[in-house]
């Protein structure tokens, strides 16, 4: 309880102020939640982008491996051709059979390389398809994210406009309130989720719901002074038309 002139009138001003401050508090909370929301949207997009980048790197590695195998196949095929020409210039059966074996060995190697090339070509196609699909999905999500960000931007502009109105209305009321009382009201407002003045409800504080001593309830009804809740420090009042037991 603190001493203040015209407590009854001051309480009425505080009640009007509280209506505005409640809305200001809710709007600030809503606005404060947006940066986190935007960060979540952006980090989800970033993760998708990184997935596509990784797939691109996989594709490049596969394409390099494919090229290496193609070069190796070509070299071996040329070697086979060269040996086949030399085959007819050989003098002995032994030389002939050694070179024939060498040619057969190279041909066997080549068919393995050919299998590898086919396998790699399939893999390249599969990764290309996957990248194309992921890019498609990414594009859609990017559009959706942009829409969502536009909606948030629109809401922020609405909130700012409403906040300006509320602040202007607030400035009409505050000069009527005792400076010290206003300061303590604002302190409680800040610490108690935007609610600094509450009605007594069934003998309890309408803010923290803790039971109040009957004397405090009577004082809140009398409004000769400013009565506060011993638990949450909120300013208490009982409307004149409310009966107390």
Residue whose pair of structure tokens reads 């960000």 in the numeric block: 149
For the bound state, the minimum distance from the C-beta of residue 138 to Zn ion, rounded and expressed in Å, comes to: 51
Q: Strand pairing of 227-228 and 197-201? A: unpaired
Interface stretch with Zn ion, choices 43-51, 82-90, 174-182, 198-206 (CB under 5 A)? 198-206
The answer to whether residue 73 forms part of the interface with Zn ion (CB under 5 A) is no
For the bound state, the minimum distance from the C-beta of residue 241 to Zn ion, rounded and expressed in Å, comes to: 22
Closest CA to 2 of 176, 178, 174: 178
Local structure of 238: helix, strand or coil: coil
- Name the residue nearer to Zn ion (CB basis): 72 or 233: 233
Q: Residues 189, 232, 235, 238: which binds Zn ion (CB under 5 A)?
A: 232
For the bound state, the minimum distance from the C-beta of residue 226 to Zn ion, rounded and expressed in Å, comes to: 14
For the bound state, the minimum distance from the C-beta of residue 195 to Zn ion, rounded and expressed in Å, comes to: 10
Interaction mask 158-197, Zn ion, x per CB under 5 A: ----------------------------------------
- Name the residue nearer to Zn ion (CB basis): 105 or 230: 230
The answer to whether residue 229 forms part of the interface with Zn ion (CB under 5 A) is yes
Closest CA to 20 of 182, 138, 171, 231: 171
d(CA 17, CA 11): 10
Q: Residues 66, 87, 99, 208: which binds Zn ion (CB under 5 A)?
A: 208
The answer to whether residue 205 forms part of the interface with Zn ion (CB under 5 A) is yes
Local structure of 197: helix, strand or coil: strand
Q: Are 52 and 138 in contact (CB under 8 A)?
A: yes
Residue whose pair of structure tokens reads 């032994």 in the numeric block: 94
Closest CA to 19 of 172, 217, 211: 172
- Name the residue nearer to Zn ion (CB basis): 232 or 238: 232
d(CA 207, CA 200): 8
The answer to whether residue 231 forms part of the interface with Zn ion (CB under 5 A) is yes
Interaction mask 17-36, Zn ion, x per CB under 5 A: --------------------
The answer to whether residue 217 forms part of the interface with Zn ion (CB under 5 A) is no
How many residues are present in the chain?
A: 245
Q: Are 187 and 2 in contact (CB under 8 A)?
A: no
The answer to whether residue 207 forms part of the interface with Zn ion (CB under 5 A) is yes
- Give the binding site for Zn ion (CB under 5 A): 205, 207-208, 229, 231-232
């Amino acid at each position: 309880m603190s001493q203040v002139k015209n407590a009854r009138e001051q309480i009425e001003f505080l009640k009007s102020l509280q209506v505005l401050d409640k809305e200001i508090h809710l709007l600030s909370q809503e606005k404060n939640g947006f940066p986190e929301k935007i960060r979540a949207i952006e980090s989800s997009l970033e993760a998708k982008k990184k997935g596509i980048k990784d797939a691109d790197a996989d594709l490049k590695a596969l394409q390099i491996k494919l090229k290496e195998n193609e070069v190796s196949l070509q070299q071996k095929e040329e070697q086979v051709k060269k040996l086949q020409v030399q085959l007819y210039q050989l003098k002995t059966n032994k030389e002939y059979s050694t070179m024939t074996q060498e040619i057969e060995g190279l041909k066997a190697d080549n068919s393995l390389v050919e299998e590898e090339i086919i396998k790699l070509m399939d893999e390249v196609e599969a990764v290309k398809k996957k990248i194309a699909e992921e890019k498609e999905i990414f594009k859609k999500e990017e559009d959706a994210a942009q829409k969502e960000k536009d909606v948030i931007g629109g809401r922020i502009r609405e909130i700012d406009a409403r906040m300006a109105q509320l602040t202007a209305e607030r400035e009409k009321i505050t000069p009527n309130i005792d400076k010290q009382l206003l300061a303590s009201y604002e302190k409680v407002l800040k610490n108690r989720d935007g609610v600094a003045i509450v009605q007594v409800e069934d003998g309890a504080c309408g803010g923290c719901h803790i039971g109040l001593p009957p004397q405090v309830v009577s004082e809140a009804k009398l409004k000769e002074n400013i009565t506060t809740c011993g638990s949450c420090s909120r300013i208490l009042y009982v409307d004149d038309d409310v009966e107390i037991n």
